[in-house]
Amino acid sequence: MRCTSSERKALARRRKALMQAAGDGAILVLPAAPERIRSRDTHYPYRQDSDFWYLTGCNEPEAVLVLVPGRRHGESILFCRERDPEREGWDGPRLGPEGAVDALGMDDAYPISDIDEILPGLLEGRRRVHYHLGRDAEFDLKLIGWINRVRAQARQGAQPPQEFLALGHLLDEMRLFKSADEVKLMQRAADISVLAHRAAMRAARPGIHEYELQAELERVFRMHDAQPAYASIVGAGANACVLHYRDNAARSRDGDLVLVDAGAEYRGYAADITRTFPLSGRFTREQRALHDLVFAAQAAALAQARPGLPYEAGHEAAVETLTEGLLSLGLLKGRLEAAIAAGDYKRFYRHKTGHWLGLDVHDVGEYRIDGESRLLEPGMVFTIEPGLYIPEDDVGVPAKWRGIGIRIEDDVLVTADGHRVLTDALERSADEIETLMAAAKP
């Protein structure tokens, strides 16, 4: 949990930039993520709030970061748990206030038990409170109570805050642009994910259960000090047509494709990869035709991933390629322009072509500015993930196409002169996938 000197400096720069954006007269309040009960007296594995982690590097619950721009006695203040040898013997070591200053580079730190005493005094004289109102109802009530205590002293000259402002308006835009250090962590998450997907492809065989492939993926994550960034999706056969398939329990059959959507989280940063491959090691004619079409759609979207182009351009390029191919294969009828305008492709392609990626797998950041698709800029990271899903019960298409679901997803960094695919090392084309799987067979 102790940050290196360079990490402490990076965290301090983030806090300083956020305070500068908030301006004089502001106060920013960010609570840590609460622990969550899984069942009775056991908890889910703890995962820190992404904003809190981004600004503190602290992975403990029961903590609150308060930023007070211009405060002479220290602008960055952390409230956290005190050291407690008895509890630490059960749950592991704690930083304590002294450790928070030393390890995380805070200006000051206090026991979380003192927050009721201290925070109203920090709020007094501040005009604006930047906070994620509505995210944590219990903490909302606490914060309103502290502000009401300041208001109660107004006749004695106390000056309570007058405005609540959404913290995400400032912080989301900061997080959208990744620093060089963040990109290194994302590249590591991507590299681990590549190894995991290859392991799943090598383990694949007709008759294997989806959960066995999931276990292979997540074994590799943990081997490299990472964990799943989200619930791994492993869908064999027609299960691949369920976009957010969860069960991962079915037994595969000879001739099935399996769609694997899984990514590692490393030091808080997510990767997100999808590959679709044949359990037998060879695509059928129809499977390859659709896989080649999705592959071409991804290439078309990637060509739009460069500075100055609208984010939406990648989706539009993928839709045009997919629709044209569906018409050629006879899965759609009519003319290209009319089919796109009418949204006919949505019958087989129901989602967008990507999303921002970072500390959250569906990361923060606006996609549109003043109603228009925002322009790509260096430092943005997003996924490109076209797909096609032919429902098993769609009697409007020939039986040979039914039950085929395919998605290809990679993680893309916008650079000054174009883009870099962080997950480019993983086999993507049908030929590459077949070659990898053939090499794995005894």
Is-catalytic flag, 272? yes
Q: What is the pLDDT of residues 209-267, one digit of tens each?
A: 999 999 999 999 999 999 999 999 999 999 999 999 999 999 999 999 999 999 999 99
Rounded to the nearest 10 degrees, how much is the dihedral formed by the CA atoms of 7, 13, 15, 20? Answer: 180
Tell me the mean pLDDT in the region 88-92.
Answer: 94
pLDDT given at position 4 = 86
Residue in 244, 246, 253, 350 annotated catalytic: 244
Cα–Cα separations (whole angstroms), residue 65 to 7, 74, 79, 212: 17, 13, 6, 42
Overall pTM surpassing 0.85 (yes/no):
yes
Residue in 8, 205, 351, 402 annotated catalytic: 351
- Collapse the DSSP code of 405 into the 3-class scheme (helix H, G, I; strand E, B; otherwise coil) and give the result: strand
Q: What is the pLDDT of residues 345-372, one digit of tens each?
A: 999 999 999 999 999 999 999 999 999 9
Is-catalytic flag, 265? no
Is-catalytic flag, 385? yes
Is-catalytic flag, 41? yes
Is-catalytic flag, 362? yes
Residue in 108, 124, 218, 261 annotated catalytic: 261
Q: How many Å apart are CA 12 and CA 326, to the nearest integer?
A: 52
Residue in 265, 324, 385, 411 annotated catalytic: 385
Is-catalytic flag, 117? no
Has residue 442 got a pLDDT over 90? no
Residue in 49, 218, 272, 363 annotated catalytic: 272
Is-catalytic flag, 291? no
Q: What is the pLDDT of residues 54-74, one digit of tens each?
A: 999 999 999 999 999 999 999
C-alpha closest to that of 354 among 427, 393, 298:
298
Q: What sign does the CA torsion over 158, 160, 162, 166 have?
A: positive
pLDDT given at position 393 = 95
Q: How many Å apart are CA 192 and CA 380, to the nearest integer?
A: 21
Is-catalytic flag, 410? no
C-alpha closest to that of 76 among 105, 39, 37, 42:
105
Residue in 71, 389, 419, 428 annotated catalytic: 389
Give the pLDDT band of residue 2 (cuts 50, 70, 90): low
Is-catalytic flag, 407? yes
Is-catalytic flag, 73? no
Is-catalytic flag, 244? yes
**Taking all residues of the chain, what is their mean pLDDT, rounded to a whole number?**
96
Q: What is the pLDDT of residues 386-439, one digit of tens each?
A: 999 999 999 999 999 999 999 999 999 999 999 999 999 999 999 999 999 999
pLDDT given at position 1 = 56
Bridging pattern class, strands 269-270 and 387-389: unpaired
Residue pair 126/26 in contact (Cβ under 8 Å)? The answer is yes
